[in-house]
Amino acid sequence: MPVMGTNHTLAPGISTRLFSFIGGSTGNWRVTRMTTICGEPLPVARFLNIAPAAVSGVGAAWVLRGITSNERYVTQEEKSELLAKQEGLGRPASRCAALIPIRKSATWWTLTQDERRDIFEEQSAHIKTGLGFLPAIARRLHHCRDLGPDEPYDFLTWFEYAPEDAAAFDDLAAQLRVSPEWKFVTGEVDIRLERISGK
């Protein structure tokens, strides 16, 4: 399986919106911890590779696919603030990463936009909380739910940060997990990683 062996990087300017996160025995990122927060666990993987494409899972412990998409909740004002503060993926100092696949309940998905926004931000301050950790924690959100009818997760969020910001990342995750929004999370795995030297 040729794609598995190649070392795809998260280079800026990649033109696809679709990414595959391949857990297995090879990759640019070493898995340091996999914690099932709720729902089904994922099979253990020692390494992670990220491919800017859909790949088959031959030889891998798992392949999770997600697609970047339009903004769902941020307002124009919030977006301006995010753009002013955030930094991109691939910073040399970002030697730590987290991949957090999340699934939300059927109840969440039957809510209307105004109801979801109210829980997401007015009740849970999801955007505001994330803003407090910029630019240290860089992130990219991938949507899975509308890739097909049988995806195991709804979202894959990829975070990158420097080793000295690992405690801050723990704080961010903890703050979100006690928010009202998280009552709708039915599946979550927290995968921590470190970049392999020289890659």
Task: List residues binding a copy of itself (CB under 8 A).
Answer: 16-18, 54, 67, 69-76, 78-79, 109-115, 117, 143, 145-149
The nearer residue to a copy of itself, 45 or 51, going by C-beta atoms, is: 51
Min separation Cβ 79 and a copy of itself, Å: 5
Which residue carries 């062996």 as its tokens?
A: 5
The nearer residue to a copy of itself, 2 or 149, going by C-beta atoms, is: 149
The nearer residue to a copy of itself, 25 or 107, going by C-beta atoms, is: 107
For residue 47, which of 78, 22, 74 has the smallest C-alpha distance?
A: 22
d(CA 24, CA 30): 10
The residues pairing with 62 across neighbouring beta strands, listed in sequence order, are: 23
- Classify residue 12 by burial, with Cβ atoms within 10 Å: 0-12, 13-18, 19+: exposed
Min separation Cβ 8 and a copy of itself, Å: 15
How many beta carbons lie within 10 A of that of residue 68, not counting itself? Answer: 13
Which residue carries 């190649």 as its tokens?
A: 6
Min separation Cβ 194 and a copy of itself, Å: 29
Min separation Cβ 121 and a copy of itself, Å: 11
The nearer residue to a copy of itself, 7 or 75, going by C-beta atoms, is: 75
